């Protein structure tokens, strides 16, 4: 239509250009009316094109709305199936101390692999070992199964009491060597993780817990930790204590390397073990200029120093 319009306009312009100057008024009006008709056709074309564009947009929106989701690629389904078959879920045997962490781990695995309701229920019953499984064997949904488990094993107050009893039952440290500090720090980290699983983060800042754990250190380490918090302007929280234990254990492990087992190489290139001499009189003067003769490990002045000075 637009092409015909352009041809029509060109033809009328040619006719007007070919008219003689002395043409009659009637001839001029006839040719001008042709031009007006052409402009009217041009306006109709523009309106029609606009309506056509609107219809195309509406049709595209309607198709997108009614579009059915396409099935995943068969390879994706196969990969997901392999992942699910290889998915190892922790088992729950009925230990109330393990329940909060196990529940979080199970729910995370189900969300990660987008398990449906039936699959989740089946895997839940497989993860719960007998005799606990009897409690949920007849449940028809994951929600109802977890309600039963929460009632029997998810009492946060009871769990908190058990965790506090466990951490307070830790034996006092007999010495301040790096191995003892690492074990003590590991027990405190486990307690912190369990308390966070119960959403009891505010209880980790309680003084009565930290004070009881500080008292389990040897007197020299108690003084050193309190000085560390004072120098660094840090609160005496469990996080502060466990970080200090880790740093202190690493520091002592590197400082006291010379007190560990030594080896002697013979002329035949064979390595023979030479155990350290215990209870041997030490003639080496103290490195910190103490009056007594002893190694740095046995120097009381060493433990009084700040961490940076050590």
pLDDT tens digits, 58-74: 887 787 777 655 444 44
Q: List the one residue out of 173, 198, 190, 156 whose CA is nearest residue 252.
A: 173
Give yes or no: residues 250 and 239 share one domain. yes
Position 39 in a domain: yes
Using the 3D structure, point to which of 255, 277, 294 is the last residue of a domain.
Answer: 255
Do residues 147 and 208 share a domain?
A: no
Quick one: which of 252, 211, 245, 208 has its CA closest to 228? 245
The predicted model gives 111-135 an average pLDDT of 88
Does 202 map to a domain?
A: yes
Residue scoring higher pLDDT (166 or 76) = 166
Q: Which of 154, 187, 212 is the last residue of a domain?
A: 154
Is 79 within a domain? no
Residue where the block lists tokens 């008709």: 37
Is residue 309 domain-resident? Answer: no
Domain closes at, from 154, 170, 192: 154
Do 126 and 50 belong together in one domain?
no
Domain identity same for 180 and 243: yes
Does residue 72 form part of some domain?
Answer: no
78: which residues sit within 8 A by CB, 6+ positions away? Answer: none
Domain count along the chain: 4
Same domain membership, residue 184 and residue 237: yes
Considering the chain, what is the average pLDDT of its residues?
77
Domain assignment present for 137:
yes
Residues 189 and 125 in one domain: no
Quick one: DSSP state of residue 310?
A: -
pLDDT at 48: 75
Based on the fold, state whether residues 186 and 230 are members of the same structural domain.
Answer: yes
Within-domain flag for 271: yes
Structure tokens at 232: 């660094």
Same domain, yes or no, for 186 and 250? yes
Tell me 260's DSSP state. S
Residue 78 has pLDDT above 60, yes or no: no
Q: Are 91 and 101 in contact (CB under 8 A)?
A: no
**How far apart are the C-alpha atoms of 302 and 219, rounded to whole Å?**
13
The model scores a pTM over 0.85: no
Q: Both 148 and 162 in a single domain?
A: no
Longest dimension (CA), the chain: 141
Range of the domain at 290: 258-304
Q: Is residue 141 in a domain?
A: yes
Ramachandran area for residue 289 (φ above 0: left; ψ -120 to 50: alpha; else beta): left
Residues 19 and 48 occupy one common structural domain: yes
Classified as helix, coil or strand, 82 is helix
Closest CA to 188 of 220, 214, 208, 207: 214
For residue 235, count other CB atoms closer than 10 A to its CB.
10
Q: Same domain for 166 and 231?
A: yes
- For the stretch 276-285, pLDDT in tens is 554 444 456 7
User: What value does the mean pLDDT take over residues 156-172?
Assistant: 89
- Whether residues 237 and 264 share a domain: the answer is no
Residue 266's pLDDT is what?
Answer: 47
pLDDT of residue 259: 52
């Amino acid at each position: 239509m637009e092409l015909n319009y352009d041809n029509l306009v060109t033809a009328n312009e040619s006719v007007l250009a070919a008219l003689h100057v002395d043409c009659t008024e009637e001839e001029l009006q006839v040719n001008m009316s042709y031009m007006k008709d052409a402009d009217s056709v041009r306006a109709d074309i523009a309106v029609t094109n606009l309506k056509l564009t609107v219809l195309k947009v509406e049709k595209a929106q309607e198709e997108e709305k009614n579009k059915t989701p396409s099935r995943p690629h068969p390879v994706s389904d196969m990969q997901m199936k392999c992942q699910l078959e290889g998915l190892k879920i922790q088992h729950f045997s009925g230990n109330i101390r393990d329940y909060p962490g196990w529940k979080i781990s199970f729910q995370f695995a189900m969300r990660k692999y987008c398990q449906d309701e039936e699959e989740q229920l089946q895997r839940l019953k497989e993860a719960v070992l007998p005799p606990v499984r009897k409690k949920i064997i007849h449940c028809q949904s994951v929600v109802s199964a977890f309600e039963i488990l929460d009632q029997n094993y998810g009492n946060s107050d009871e769990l908190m009491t058990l965790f506090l009893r466990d951490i307070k039952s830790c034996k006092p440290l007999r010495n301040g060597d790096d191995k003892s500090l690492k074990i003590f720090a590991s027990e405190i980290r486990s307690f912190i993780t369990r308390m966070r699983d119960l959403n009891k983060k505010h209880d980790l800042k309680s003084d009565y817990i930290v004070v009881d754990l500080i008292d389990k250190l040897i007197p020299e380490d108690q003084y050193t930790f309190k000085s560390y918090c004072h120098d660094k302007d840090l609160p005496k929280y469990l996080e502060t204590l466990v970080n200090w234990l880790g740093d202190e254990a690493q520091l002592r492990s590197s400082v006291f390397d010379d007190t560990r087992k030594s080896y002697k190489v013979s002329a035949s290139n064979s390595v023979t073990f030479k155990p350290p001499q215990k209870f041997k009189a030490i003639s080496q003067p103290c490195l910190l200029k103490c009056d007594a003769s002893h190694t740095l490990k046995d120097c009381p002045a060493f433990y009084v120093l700040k961490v940076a000075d050590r």
